[in-house]
Structure 1
Amino acid sequence: MECLPLSRDDVATLTHHFAVITRKIPLHPIADDAQYEAAIEAMNGLIDAGAGDDCHALAPLLGLLGVFIADYEDAALPRPDVPPAEVVRLLMDQHGLKQGDLPEIGSQGVVSELLSGKRELNKNQIARLSERFGVSPATFF
């Protein structure tokens, strides 16, 4: 996209439109939980309007808002560093499962090796566990 010089009229028009947009969509770094909630609400509205499609005219706006949301989450909501084996153990406990109840990982022996730290999950196992338990694959990283 070619950027052209801005006239005073262009700046005035852009200022007006930016003010209108930012009343609905926070286009700045998020500073607190209230701004975060407003940003999430705006993001959901954009997604509902179809902006999740890369061809949609508002897709770049959704992308920018997503960056602000991710930055806030990274800073304000640090994720604990939990080994994948502990995540699997927690999910097993929550669902009342035994080692033999996880064919997504493999045999009971394979599950045992994973839980003892002798083996790591591969991406196919992660994908199947993610689907089974309805969690993001990132949960296992």
Structure 2
Amino acid sequence: MDFKLIKSEQEYEAAISLLEQIGDNPDFEENEKLINDFEVLEKLIEVYERENFPIENGDPIEIIKLKMAYMDLAQKDLIPYIGSKGVVSEVMNKKRRLSKAMIRNLSEFLNVSQEILNVDYDLGKVDVSITNEQVKEKGVLRFLIPTGIDASGISNRIKSRGVTLAMCN
């Protein structure tokens, strides 16, 4: 196949589709031409993504969670790389920071650059403050949800179903 640089979103989507078709071909593993086409196309997609979708410093814990979901892993699978079950839980719930050793181990295990994991992040704090202005503005009490979680779907379902919540201290 003849390949060229990807220059538009449309070409990018077509390249992704073609990459999937090549990878799904039953003869893929034995066919050197398909393997070469796959590798070339993968590099072209990577170049386009790097130029058009730059990755900013993200939250390393969220990156780990995404990688875990992609690799179908559970927190218990991280024990050999982070420490005990309790330490894994503390790290994943942002109650403890990643150490240098954890970053090295996770980088190798999850196949993620150490630089991506070696980024400062806030330790988890639940935002439990509700001001009178927020209650008046929204018309309903908002959920007490940790920072960074989008609860709009939950809120919309409650509004559409007319569910009443009882909240107490």
TM-score by length of 2: 0.44
Which of 45, 52, 60 lines up with 1:84 in the alignment? 60
**Which residue in 1 is equivalent to 2:124?**
none
Q: CA deviation digits over 1:62-111, x for unaligned, max 9?
A: 211111111001111112312423545x77xxxxxxxxx94333232454
- Structure 1's 81 and 38: CA in aligned 2 closer, same or farther, altered over 3 A? same
1:117 pairs with 2:97: yes
TM-score by length of 1: 0.51
Shift in Å, 1:113: 5.9
**Which residue in 1 is equivalent to 2:16?**
40
CA-atom RMSD in angstroms: 3.5
Question: Helix, strand or coil: the match of 1:57?
Answer: helix
8 Å CA contact 1:52–1:62 kept in 2: the answer is no
Distance 2:19 2:91 in 1: 42
8 Å CA contact 1:50–1:56 kept in 2: the answer is no
8 Å CA contact 1:84–1:121 kept in 2: the answer is no
Distance 1:51 1:77 in 2: 32
**Which residue in 1 is equivalent to 2:156?**
none
- Structure 1's 122 and 111: CA in aligned 2 closer, same or farther, altered over 3 A? farther
1:59 pairs with 2:59: no
Q: Which residue identity lines up with residue 28 of structure 1 in the other structure?
A: K
Distance 1:85 1:108 in 2: 16
**Which runs of no fewer than 5 residues in structure 2 stay unpaired?**
67-73, 118-169
Distance 1:28 1:138 in 2: 28
Question: Helix, strand or coil: the match of 2:57?
Answer: coil
Distance 2:22 2:11 in 1: 16
**Which residue in 2 is equivalent to 1:49?**
25
Q: CA deviation digits over 1:11-55, x for unaligned, max 9?
A: xxxxxxxxxx44xxxx11101110001111111111122465275
Distance 1:69 1:41 in 2: 11
- Spell out the pairing of 1:1-141 with structure 2 (5 A cutoff): 21-22=1-2, 27-50=3-26, 52-53=28-29, 55-87=31-63, 102-103=75-76, 104-105=78-79, 106-109=84-87, 111-112=89-90, 115=94, 116-117=96-97, 119=99, 120-123=102-105, 127=109, 137-138=111-112, 141=117
Distance 1:111 1:69 in 2: 36
**Which residue in 1 is equivalent to 2:157?**
none
Distance 1:111 1:125 in 2: 18
- For these two proteins, the number of residue pairs brought into alignment is 99
- Percent sequence identity is 18
